[in-house]
Amino acid sequence: MKNNKSAYWWCQIGGWSAYCLVYTFFYFTIRTKPQPYFFEILLTDAVTGILITHVMRMMIGYFNLLKLNVQRQIITLLLTSIVFALLYSMLMLYVEDYVFHLIENEAMRNAPFITKLIRTSFGSFFYMLIWNLIYFMYHYIQKSRQEQIDRIRLESLVKELELKTIKAHINPHFIFNALNSIRALVDENPIRARTAITELSNILRSSMQAEKAETSPLEKELNIVKDYLALEHIRFEDRLQIEYDIDEDTLDQPIPPMMLQTLVENAIKHGISKQKDGGLVKVISDFRNNHHELIIQNTGQLNGIASADGFGIASTQNRLSILFGDKASFELKDINGNMVEAKVIMPVTM
């Protein structure tokens, strides 16, 4: 607020100083004869102008004229310019006639005051109108800028809340499935069950850290997936084959936290678990066409769109849209007769 006031007064002083300089320039370049009290009157003009425009500013603020719609602001701008132009002219006529005793000619000396006021008000109206145009335009731009900033902040807040909501759903979804895998080990292989619990703790630790960031390096997310698939391999045994085709240059690329694990979990749930003989889960990461492609392939079929309606797929689409907008895409389709491919395309971060 203090900075705005300082800027306002600097603009006032600068503007009316420019007014004095312009008139001084013309006085020395095109005058035909000396004009008595020229500089005294010019300085009085400037000081009076500062006072009158400041009072006009106070009136604009008091009646909240800046909050009116654009059409009413235009009407208000003209009316205030007229009113304060008359007031400014009245003060200057008083100064010239009664303080400096300046009278241009006999006709003006004997002319009614209202006539002299109207004549001198034309120039004053021009000054007041320019002042109002600058003042109203400045506040209009400031208001538009503030609205834009508020809108961006609101959109950012909405995105943040959406991300937190999605993550809040993902973690319980993942935990319950992982616990089911460990439960199957307790009676069959207690030693492996303890190892699985350690693996699960690693996954949970990573997922808790993921809550603090919007993106995570692929390498970190890949480690979570490897722990998860290690757990699932115990449950499915030889029915689950796992392959990785990872370009090492993509390991530092940012992706939404837990997204890869969610897609792999979806491949297990809707693909491998429904196959009598099990099948393959393959994770591919590579650069293509200046984009980062992350692909999860699994044995199975979509069977229409049933497997695409789950929360995991919906959350993936939402998170990509929130984080990358139209620069990212997601596709789920059947390939090679008995394979399903989930493909995520994201912008490359250098």
Q: Regarding predicted confidence, which is higher, 155 or 111?
A: 155
Average pLDDT for the chain:
80
Look at residue 164 in the predicted model and tell me its pLDDT. Answer: 60
Which residues face 340 on adjacent strands?
A: 298, 334
pLDDT at 350 over 60: yes
Q: Is 278 within 8 Å of 299 (Cβ atoms)?
A: yes
CA–centroid distance for 331 within its chain = 28
8-state DSSP, 113 = H
CA–centroid distance for 339 within its chain = 41
pLDDT in tens, 54-79: 999 998 888 888 888 878 888 888 89
Write down the residue that tokens 């009407």 correspond to: 75
- Looking at domain 187-347, its CATH superfamily turns out to be Histidine kinase-like ATPase, C-terminal domain (3.30.565.10)
Look at residue 295 in the predicted model and tell me its pLDDT. Answer: 96
The residue among 151, 148, 163 whose CA lies nearest residue 324 is 163
The tokens of 108 are what?
A: 């003006």
Q: Regarding predicted confidence, which is higher, 99 or 117?
A: 117
8-state DSSP, 296 = E
| % of the chain beyond a pLDDT of 90 | 17
Look at residue 62 in the predicted model and tell me its pLDDT. Answer: 85
Q: How far apart are CA 182 and CA 29, in angstroms?
A: 96
CA distances from 192 to 204, 234, 306 (A): 18, 8, 34
Please report the sign of the dihedral spanned by the C-alpha atoms of residue 216, residue 222, residue 227, residue 233: positive
Q: Which segments of 276-337 are extended strands (E)? A: 279-288, 291-299, 329-335
The residue among 181, 170, 164, 165 whose CA lies nearest residue 227 is 181
| pLDDT tier, 171 (very low <50, low <70, confident <90, very high otherwise) | low
Q: How far apart are CA 16 and CA 50, in angstroms?
A: 7
pLDDT in tens, 110-141: 556 677 677 777 878 888 888 988 888 888 88
Q: Which of 25-29, 89-93, 291-295 has the highest mean pLDDT?
A: 291-295
Look at residue 112 in the predicted model and tell me its pLDDT. Answer: 66
Look at residue 105 in the predicted model and tell me its pLDDT. Answer: 44
Rg, Å, the chain Cα set: 38
Which residues face 243 on adjacent strands?
A: 282
Which residues face 331 on adjacent strands?
A: 343
| pLDDT tier, 308 (very low <50, low <70, confident <90, very high otherwise) | very low
The residue among 172, 188, 271 whose CA lies nearest residue 229 is 271
pLDDT in tens, 221-256: 998 899 888 878 877 888 999 999 999 999 999 998
pLDDT in tens, 14-64: 888 988 898 888 888 887 777 777 788 788 888 888 898 999 999 888 888
pLDDT at 342 over 90: yes
For the chain, the domains span 2-152, 187-347
